Chain A
């Protein structure tokens, strides 16, 4: 089947965060979605159901969340860029297969539009409660990449980045939205094809002898070239530790070697994975460090506080995993206080404290019953510490 190139209709558009994820994924070359509808992420499935058939892609509504995750892994192994979307309760169900995808190094993107938990919680209210589920929801020491957009425009941009990172590092990437960003409509500028940088997974050389192909070949960059299922290469995948052939050998050396490789393929390239924005002046004494929808109130507060000559700056993480440890350590050396607003009982603040290592006082502001943190709450704390 011939694939048509996706063309955005017009550049300045009013778009919902969830729809921006669809636009971003299509712009990055995604041709497959499988999933199961769940509030507040359902508009993502609806968007793909509308758009994918028009460009020759495939949309599958699966029988449940687990199958949705399994289907995107299969599609990616067959050579397609694949994505699924869910919310906290569904994300919990996807964890096992997400761990499998990490182990067999399959590029997939999982969108989690967070709602208040635990369990089915508050389906229509925003939360950042899945930050640690994203990091540690699976068994074993495993890496994950997670990006958290704070606007509709960023939902578009970071979806493109998520697809690219997954392809580049053969690594599942989680995109963490929340109900507010998912349902917010904002004016955004869609990019033309020429403006978008797209990364496609590394494949075996065209002259590669298929008999000698190793699906987990050791290369300098630690990222094995990936052949499409059904393209003539023998390709075995296993959730057991495996050697370069993809078959398990049961050796402890293999287990150690592979865990190190999976860790190092990301940690050797953190500069390509960790994104953040900041506005810290040399004489600022406090910084508000945030991510996702909480960043909107944080930046708003700092901008108004500066008009009143308060010495405060802001630091916004776009990549939350791997955590920007070095940059936050540097921030902690610069300011006396770091305020961390989060829509949970305090999850990422643990990493901030760890990175700050006592060099700055780290204080959280938390909202975990479905309300956004408002600028005046952060302002009050800023005035208290400055």
Chain B
């Protein structure tokens, strides 16, 4: 794939950084794919807006941070307000349904998917903290042509505490099964 940039944003404690590391680990399993992963680090990661970034490229990755995301995930209003406008033209935003997106709705049009990520995690798994795995399921579906779903599952198993694997995999499946329509944007430029 040519350079593909993912930004995961939410609140500190929502596991965005772990999700970023898992995505990066799955990218490492693909031959000849380069991976850079970084995160906001510091006071803002404790409660405020937290951010993890992953860049994939078959070529060498020069600039290691996201320049403009192809895929942006926002789990909180604050994250959406901060990053919502910063997106490539053909990019996709996955925003939790609790977020009020009115302000940018016209601008984002087909780029925006609102999905009930936090509610699914809270109601079906019983833990809102599993929302990051729901997010990984959604992303796995979007990038499956380039990163096999099995690689992401393998990376989850390697990275989460052993006693939580079942819950995490269940949350991943919930995300993976979520319906995304066939708008070309979602599968577009990967």
Q: How far is the CA of A13 from the CA of B21 in the complex (A)?
A: 12
Stretch at the interface among B38-46, B97-105, B122-130: B38-46
Give, as a whole number of angstroms, the nearest-CB distance from B27 to chain A: 7
Residue among B27, B36, B43 making CB contact with A184, cutoff 8 Å: B36
Chain B positions within 8 Å of A124 at CB level: 41-43
Q: How far is the CA of A123 from the CA of B24 in the complex (A)?
A: 25
Give, as a whole number of angstroms, the nearest-CB distance from B1 to chain A: 14
**B37 interface hit (Cβ, 8 Å):** yes
Give, as a whole number of angstroms, the nearest-CB distance from B91 to chain A: 17
Give, as a whole number of angstroms, the nearest-CB distance from A134 to chain B: 23
A184 and B64 contact, CB distance less than 8 A: yes
Q: How far is the CA of A363 from the CA of B116 in the complex (A)?
A: 51
The residue of chain B having its C-beta at the shortest distance from the C-beta of A179 within the complex is B41
**A375 interface hit (Cβ, 8 Å):** yes
**A80 interface hit (Cβ, 8 Å):** no
Q: How far is the CA of A341 from the CA of B184 in the complex (A)?
A: 39
**A300 interface hit (Cβ, 8 Å):** yes
**A180 interface hit (Cβ, 8 Å):** yes
Contact with B along A179-193 (1 / 0, CB 8 A): 110011111000000
**A12 interface hit (Cβ, 8 Å):** yes
Give, as a whole number of angstroms, the nearest-CB distance from A19 to chain B: 12
**Known A14-B24, A375-B67; contact A187-B34, beta-carbon cutoff 8 A:** yes
Chain B positions within 8 Å of A12 at CB level: 28
A372 and B65 contact, CB distance less than 8 A: yes
Q: Which of A274-329 contact B (CB under 8 A)?
A: 293, 296-297, 299-300, 303
Q: How far is the CA of A300 from the CA of B5 in the complex (A)?
A: 15
Dominant SS at the B interface? mixed
**B35 interface hit (Cβ, 8 Å):** yes
Chain A positions within 8 Å of B33 at CB level: 187
B38 and A180 contact, CB distance less than 8 A: yes
A124, A185, A300: residue with the most chain B Cβ atoms closer than 10 Å = A185
**B181 interface hit (Cβ, 8 Å):** no
B41 and A185 contact, CB distance less than 8 A: no
Contact with B along A218-241 (1 / 0, CB 8 A): 000000000000000000000000
Chain B positions within 8 Å of A273 at CB level: none
Chain A positions within 8 Å of B160 at CB level: none
**B178 interface hit (Cβ, 8 Å):** no
B42 and A186 contact, CB distance less than 8 A: no
Chain A positions within 8 Å of B36 at CB level: 184-186
B37 and A123 contact, CB distance less than 8 A: no
Chain A positions within 8 Å of B35 at CB level: 14, 185-187
A183 and B42 contact, CB distance less than 8 A: no
Chain A positions within 8 Å of B24 at CB level: 14, 185, 187
Contact with B along A1-43 (1 / 0, CB 8 A): 0000000000011100000000000000000000000001000
Chain A positions within 8 Å of B61 at CB level: 186
Query: How many contacts A-B (CB < 8 Å)?
Result: 61
B41 and A300 contact, CB distance less than 8 A: no
**Known A184-B37, A185-B36; contact A297-B42, beta-carbon cutoff 8 A:** no
Chain B positions within 8 Å of A187 at CB level: 24, 27-28, 33-35
Q: How far is the CA of A325 from the CA of B144 in the complex (A)?
A: 50
A180 and B64 contact, CB distance less than 8 A: yes
Chain A positions within 8 Å of B38 at CB level: 180, 183-185
A14 and B42 contact, CB distance less than 8 A: no
Contact with B along A153-193 (1 / 0, CB 8 A): 00000000000000000000000000110011111000000
Residue among B37, B41, B43, B63 making CB contact with A186, cutoff 8 Å: B37
B63 and A296 contact, CB distance less than 8 A: yes
**B166 interface hit (Cβ, 8 Å):** no
B62 and A14 contact, CB distance less than 8 A: no
Chain B positions within 8 Å of A151 at CB level: 64
**B25 interface hit (Cβ, 8 Å):** yes
**Known A296-B63, A375-B67; contact A185-B42, beta-carbon cutoff 8 A:** no
**A125 interface hit (Cβ, 8 Å):** yes
Contact with A along B40-81 (1 / 0, CB 8 A): 011100000000000000000111110100000000000000
Q: How far is the CA of A296 from the CA of B35 in the complex (A)?
A: 14
Give, as a whole number of angstroms, the nearest-CB distance from A116 to chain B: 11
A123 and B21 contact, CB distance less than 8 A: no
B28, B34, B37, B62: residue with the most chain A Cβ atoms closer than 10 Å = B62
Q: How far is the CA of A186 from the CA of B65 in the complex (A)?
A: 11
Q: How far is the CA of A299 from the CA of B64 in the complex (A)?
A: 11
A40 and B41 contact, CB distance less than 8 A: yes
Contact with A along B15-27 (1 / 0, CB 8 A): 0000001001101
Q: How far is the CA of A14 from the CA of B26 in the complex (A)?
A: 9
7 nearest A-B residue pairs (beta carbon)? A124-B42, A300-B62, A300-B63, A185-B37, A187-B35, A14-B28, A187-B28
Query: What 5 new A-B contacts, CB under 8 Å, besides A185-B37, A297-B62, A300-B62?
Result: A179-B41, A183-B41, A186-B61, A187-B27, A375-B67
24 A-B pairs with CB atoms under 8 Å apart are A13-B28, A14-B24, A14-B27, A14-B35, A40-B41, A123-B42, A151-B64, A180-B38, A183-B38, A183-B39, A183-B41, A184-B38, A185-B21, A185-B24, A185-B37, A185-B38, A186-B36, A186-B61, A186-B64, A187-B28, A297-B62, A297-B63, A300-B63, A372-B65
